[in-house]
Structure 1
Amino acid sequence: MRRVKRILFRVLLIFAIVTVAGGLWMREEIMRLWAVNTLFDEDYIVANFSNMDAAFLTVPVPRGSGAASTLPTGTPAELPAEVAGWIEERAVTSLLVIQDGEIRHESYHLGTDPSDRRISWSVAKSFLSALLGTLVDDGTIPELGAPVTDYVPSLAGTAYDGATILDVLQMSSGVTFDEDYLDYNSDINRMGREIALGGTLDGFTQALNETFAPPGEAWQYVSIDTHVIGMVIRGATGRDVPSLLSERIIAPLGMDSTPYYLTDGEGVAFVLGGLNMTTRDYARLGLMYLQNGQFNGQQIVSEDWVAASTVASARTAPGAIGYGYQWWIPVGAEPGQFMARGIYGQYIYVDQVNGVVIATTGADRRFRDAGVNEENVRMFRLIAESL
C-alpha cells in the first residue's frame, strides 16, 4: 500500500512540475492571446493602440541616423465648430492638419500625446504600396502583370495560384477570406490569434484554398492580399520588409521616432496592418504623396507610381468608394483627393487640390456603423475647404 502511495505521489509530483513548467513556457503566448481577445474592449482600446509592443512580438523599422524632417507650424486654424463634436463622437485620439507644408492644427485626445506610436491598422497597406512602387521604379519588379507565384513559388496550388501582382494590389485576387471583425471565427480574427500564439502568416496564407471568383474579375477587400504583396517583395529582393521600408521610405521621410511592426512567430512583419508610429510620422507619408512622391527635395517614389496608385482603377461597384493600389478614393473625390484608411478611425487624407494633409488616429468602436466612413470624409473635406 505504501509503495502504491509513493508511486502515486511521484506521478502527481511529475504532473505538477510539467503543468507549472508548461504554464511558464506558454506564459507569453497566453498573454498575447489574452491581449488579442481584449484588444478592442472599451476600457483598454485607447491604451492598447498606443502600446502594441507591450503585448505582441515586434520588429523595429529603423528611422535612420538623420535628424527628423522639419514640420513648421503655421498660423493656427480655426476649425469648423462641428469638428469638436465629431472628435468626441468618433473617439478621435489625434488630429493633425497640414496645409502647404505647415501644421495648422494639432491636437491629442483621450489621454494620448504626440509621442504615442499608434497602431496603423490598414493604413500600413499604403506604406507597403509606396515600398512596392520603389521596386517597380528601379526594375526589381518590372511587371505588375506577373503571377505572384513567379516570386512566391510556395503559393502554387493555393487559392493564389493564377493571381497576378496587380490582382492582389487592387484587392481583386478572388480569394475567399472572411474580414468580419465582429465574428470570432472569421478569417481575420483567426489570423490575429495565429499571430498571438506565435504562428506564421506565410503558413496561414498558404493554407487558403478557396476562391469566389477568378483572379482579376471581381473586387473584394481581402486584407490577406496585402500579405501576399509582402511575400512578393521578400521573394523579389531576398530581404525583409522592415529593413527595405526603412531604407527606401522611413529614413528619407525623417521620422520623429523609430516605427515598429507587429510580427508573427517567425519575425515576419504584419504588413497588412501592423505598423506603429506617431501621428506626425503618418502625416509625412501623406506629405510625400501630396508632393507627387517628393519630400525634402528628394524623389522617393516616382510621380507615375503616385498617380497610378491613387486613382480608382479597381473594379469596385459603380457609385461606391473607389480603390487603387492600396489607397482609397472617396465618392465624389476630385483628381488628387485620396486616402489611406484603417479600422477604428485611422486615416491619412490627402487633398492635392487644397494642398492639405489630414492625419487622424482613433479608437472608434462604432467604426462599422452605417455612414461613419462617409461622415469622416465629409469632415476631412470640411476642414480642408475651411482653411
Structure 2
Amino acid sequence: MNQIKIKELEQIISSKYGNTTGIVIIKDGAVSYEKYFKGCTANSRVHIYSVTKSIISILIGIALDKGYIKNIEEKVLVYFPEYKVKRGERRIQNITLRDMLTMTAPYKYCFFAPYIKYFTSSDWVKFSLDLLGGRGKIGVFRYAPLIGPDILSGILVRATGQPVLDFAAENLFEPLGIKVENNLLFESKEEQLAFNQSKDISGWVIDSMGIHAAVWGLTLTPMDMAKIGQLYLNGGMWEGKQIISSKWVEDSTIEHSRWKKENLPYGYLWWVNEDGYAAMGDGGNIIYVNTKKKLVISIAALFVPKAGDRIELIKKFIEPIL
C-alpha cells in the first residue's frame, strides 16, 4: 500500500472520523493494514452495537447446520409455547424466523420506541414478544434497531439448551481465536453509558434472565471483526474446518427484503450492496466484505451522534488505495 496515501487516509480519519478506535484490512486472505487510534491497541475491545445482529445471524445458521433449528420457516411462537397471545393479536402466530431475520416482522411501536421500558425490563425476550404485531403487515420491511430481535436470542437458548455466549464460544468464537470473556449485567444507567465508551471490557450484555442481547451489547476487537468477515468471504471455512455452511453464508448475504425509504437491500441480518455485504453498527462500527475484490475491512469506533458514514470512508478513501 502506498505510504503517502496511507498517511493521507489517517489524516482523514483523525479529522472526519475521530471516534475510530481501530481498522483492519485483509486483502486476498492476508492482513495488509492494521492501525489503532485514540490510545487503543490490538487488544482493545469496544461495543460494536448492531454488528451484533450479524453475529446472531451466524449463530442461527450454525444452529440450523447442527439440527437444533429445523428451518427458518418455523413459527416464532413454536419456541415459546407458554406465551399467551392477547386477544386480537392472533396474527403474530404466523410470524416466522425468516420474518425476524429479514426485518419483516411488524411491531406495535412506531417512531418512538419504548427504550427506557426496554432497558429497565427484566425479560427482554418477553418484552419484545409483547410488542410484536400492531397494524403493520408481516412481510413488509420494518427495521428494528434495538427492540425485537432479542426474540432470536431466546430462540437460540430454547433450541440449543445453552446460553448464547456459550454456544457462540464453542461453535464460532473459539475456532476463530476470538475471546469474549464475561456476561455483562448493568445495575444502572451510568454503568451502561460507561460501557458504551469503554475500550477494555470483554463480554456480551445479558438481561436479568441471563439472555444475551441480540442487537447490541457485544464487544470485539477490530481483528475479531475482520475474522468474522474473512470467515464469510471464505464461504464459512476457517483453517480447513467448515464453521458454518456455505449455503447459509450465501443465503444470508443476498437480498431478501428492502428498506424502500433508504433503498437498502437486506439479507438475514446483513446489509447487502452491489459489491458484497456488511454488518453495521452505531458509531461507525462495521464489517465490510467486498466479494469481488476479495477484501475485508473492519472498523471499530466509540459511539458519537451522527457518526461519519463508514461506507463513504471505505468507498472514497480506502478501496482506491488498495
Q: Give the TM-score normalised by the residue count of structure 1.
A: 0.70
Cα distance in 1 for partners of 2:60, 2:278 equals 17
Cα distance in 2 for partners of 1:179, 1:288 equals 36
1:230 is matched with which residue?
153
CA contact (8 A) 1:94 1:360 kept: yes
**Alignment pair present for 1:241 and 2:164:** yes
CA contact (8 A) 2:79 2:155 kept: yes
1:280 is matched with which residue?
223
**Alignment pair present for 1:115 and 2:43:** yes
Aligned ranges 1:312-351 → 2 under 5 Å? 312-317=255-260, 320-330=263-273, 333-334=274-275, 337-351=276-290
SS at match of 2:257: coil
Aligned ranges 1:1-387 → 2 under 5 Å? 78-79=5-6, 81-82=8-9, 84-90=11-17, 91-157=19-85, 160-177=92-109, 186-194=113-121, 199-208=122-131, 210-255=133-178, 258=181, 259-317=202-260, 320-330=263-273, 333-334=274-275, 337-367=276-306, 372-373=308-309, 376-382=310-316, 383-387=318-322
Deviation at residue 116 of structure 1 after TM alignment:
1.4
Cα distance in 2 for partners of 1:209, 1:102 equals 44
2:195 is matched with which residue?
none
CA separation of 1:133/1:294 partners in 2, compared to 1, >3 Å: closer, same or farther? same
Q: Give the TM-score normalised by the residue count of structure 2.
A: 0.83
Cα distance in 2 for partners of 1:363, 1:315 equals 28
Cα distance in 1 for partners of 2:123, 2:70 equals 28
- Decide which structure has greater strand share: 2
Per-residue CA deviations over 1:244-270 (Å, capped at 9, x if unaligned) read 111111111112664521111222211
Q: Which amino acid aligns with 1:136?
A: L
CA contact (8 A) 1:164 1:215 kept: no
Cα distance in 1 for partners of 2:143, 2:294 equals 31
Which entry has the higher C-alpha Rg, 1 or 2? Answer: 1
Deviation at residue 155 of structure 1 after TM alignment:
4.2
Q: Which amino acid aligns with 1:111?
A: G
Deviation at residue 379 of structure 1 after TM alignment:
2.0
SS at match of 1:153: coil
Cα distance in 2 for partners of 1:233, 1:103 equals 33
Q: List gaps (5 residues or longer) in structure 2.
A: 182-201
CA separation of 1:113/1:177 partners in 2, compared to 1, >3 Å: closer, same or farther? farther
Deviation at residue 106 of structure 1 after TM alignment:
1.5
Q: Which amino acid aligns with 2:115?
A: I
CA separation of 1:209/1:221 partners in 2, compared to 1, >3 Å: closer, same or farther? closer
Cα distance in 1 for partners of 2:277, 2:241 equals 22
Alignment root-mean-square deviation, CA: 2.5
Q: Which amino acid aligns with 2:171?
A: R
CA separation of 1:75/1:289 partners in 2, compared to 1, >3 Å: closer, same or farther? farther
Q: Identity over the aligned pairs, expressed in percent?
A: 24
SS at match of 2:148: helix
SS at match of 1:270: coil
Cα distance in 2 for partners of 1:226, 1:329 equals 19
More relative contact order, 1 or 2 (CA 8 Å, 6+ apart):
2
SS at match of 2:174: helix
CA separation of 1:249/1:179 partners in 2, compared to 1, >3 Å: closer, same or farther? farther
CA contact (8 A) 2:180 2:219 kept: no
Cα distance in 1 for partners of 2:124, 2:301 equals 26
Q: Which amino acid aligns with 2:315?
A: R
CA contact (8 A) 1:346 1:360 kept: yes
